[in-house]
Amino acid sequence: MIGTIGFPVSEHSTSQDAAIPSIHLQTEPHRKWAYAFLVGGVHSTRPGSNYMGSLYSVVAIVHKLRSLQSVADFVVMIQISASSTNSTTLTPLEEEVFDKLNVTIVYLPKPLLPELETFYSLVVQGKFYILNLVQYSRVMFMDIDIFPRCNLDYLFALSEPDSSTERQPQTNPNFTAKARLKENVVMGWKHEPSNAALFVLKPQLGSYDKVLQPVIDRKESRPWDPVLGWGHKIDADDPWAAPSGMTGTNWTWAYAFADQGLLYHWTKYVQRSVSLITPGVVENWGTSSCPTSKVVCKEATLREILEPHSCRRRVKREMSPYRDIFHFTGDRKPWWSNQTKLEEDLQRYHLPLNATNNNRSSNVQAHHDLNFRQEWYWHLKVALSEIGLCDQVLSLNVMGREESPPVGRSSSMEQMRRYIEAKKTLFAQT
């Protein structure tokens, strides 16, 4: 399924900043969920760059989650590179892969200038496009280097429970199941209170414009303000807290100036409704019983409520959902692995490539001793085999080359500065 979205451009917006036309729904969706992925710089002419590994990873992740009986939909958001003068879509083969896998493609607007195409602008603006997927009640964004080890649908279900599956008191015919998680769910990671590699948001009309307003308003490349951050001074009695135990009141954690800080600001201080997760602890923040002097208050601290939902046995201090995912960091990206070696591993472990809906789960369990890169490759190959496109896709020989993503590997203050300067130049020309 392919969704192409058009964006008007005004004097106050780049093509990336522009608003999505309103979508009118007769009823608000309930328990309609989706996982969303982001791939930028498609068809980039930048030397030594390649986007195909990102597409491969979306295929592998989708297959893995479906093998674990996820009931959610899947959406891949694609941004064509500004340097690509002739392309407006993926190749026909790439579109066919996602169509046969029943993954919806949403094309994001192409940057108007090459200078507007950076990792900073992609993650700050592209990730939050999930707020426009208003046909869903919850959307989980997931980076393409996050590999699920369990079905993560429980994060949706705890945020939006089904009353019919709860034990209903006979004395209360109007019983409604109580959500354990807020509609927005954010995980801390190491030394950061918010990690933008995996999070859950509730889409709402107008929210995308609102979340990006601080980005659009920044027209001066002044230094990042660690006190005000995205527009809120953190009080001393409301410090951020990271899994490592670090706390603070300044916007100084990793990528606080980019997607990770914007995520924290949006969910806690604008929406004022978020579950902040650290290992073993969920803090629910909202506005109930808040004094008028406070923007948001901690409503509850819940301990180990996620543990029963993990599919994996707890080892030492591994807590859910952290033990339910694996992060391919640095040079451990599986699409940089030697394909011949991965093929030899599949032969050595005698893994079948004809997994069906009936035997997928048993096949997945059969290769528990494979490392994650090998398991990733197995899911990629089985998914492509099931739709009859394995030979056509893998014959492209893009694996095993440690090429950079077309927009780079991480955000930087310098990218932010160049992006703001490029916007000023664009505005001056219009």
**In this predicted model, what pLDDT tens digit does every residue of 203-259 receive, in sequence order?**
999 999 999 888 877 766 677 899 999 999 999 989 999 999 999 999 999 999 999
pLDDT at 260 over 80: yes
> Do 366 and 259 sit in the same domain of this protein?
no
346 and 268 together in one domain: no
- Whether the full predicted model's pTM is greater than 0.85, yes or no, is yes
**What percentage of the chain carries pLDDT values higher than 70?**
81
Residue 57 and residue 17 share a domain: yes
389: pLDDT strictly greater than 80: yes
Residue 172 covered by a domain: no
**β-strand 281-286 against 297-303: which pairing, if any?**
antiparallel
Q: How confident is the model at residue 331 (pLDDT cuts 50, 70, 90)?
A: confident
Print the domain residue range for 361.
334-394
Q: Is 195 within the bounds of a domain?
A: yes
Q: Residue 294: pLDDT above 90?
A: no
Do residues 61 and 142 both lie within one domain?
Answer: yes
Q: Is it the case that residue 3 has pLDDT exceeding 50?
A: no
* Interatomic CA distance for residues 142 and 199, integer angstroms: 7
Provide the CATH number for the domain around residue 131.
Answer: 3.90.550
Per-residue model confidence (pLDDT) at position 357: 45
Which has the higher per-residue pLDDT, 15 or 87? 87
Tell me what the mean pLDDT of segment 54-78 comes to: 97
Does residue 174 fall inside a structural domain?
no
- How many of the other CB atoms lie within 10 Å of CB of 396? 12
Give domain status of residue 271, yes or no: yes
Whether residue 170 lies inside any domain: the answer is no
Is 371 found in the same domain as 280?
no
The pLDDT of 4-17, averaged and rounded, is 35
Domain co-membership, 342 together with 360? yes
320 in the same domain as 342: no
Residue 369 pLDDT greater than 60, yes or no: no
Q: Do 408 and 262 belong to one domain?
A: yes
Higher pLDDT, 366 or 428: 428
* Same-domain status, 266 and 369: no
pLDDT in tens, 85-111: 888 999 999 999 999 999 999 999 998
* Domain membership flag for residue 143: yes
d(CA 133, CA 119): 22
The two tokens of residue 13 are 């917006």
Asked if residue 361 and residue 277 are part of one domain, the reply reads: no
Q: Is 200 domain-assigned?
A: yes
What pLDDT, on the 0 to 100 scale, is given for residue 163?
67
- How far apart (Å, rounded) are the C-alpha atoms in residues 113 and 297? 42
- Rounded to the nearest 5°, which phi and psi values hold at 417? -65, -45
Task: Answer yes or no: do 272 and 420 share one domain.
Answer: yes
Contact between 79 and 127 (Cβ < 8 Å): no
Same structural domain for residues 261 and 363?
Answer: no
Whether 166 is in a domain gets the answer: no
Higher pLDDT, 147 or 417: 147
Domain count, the chain: 2
Whether residue 385 contacts residue 353, with contact meaning beta carbons closer than 8 Å, is answered with: yes
Give me the pLDDT at residue 7, please: 33
The Cα 107–Cα 90 span in angstroms is 9
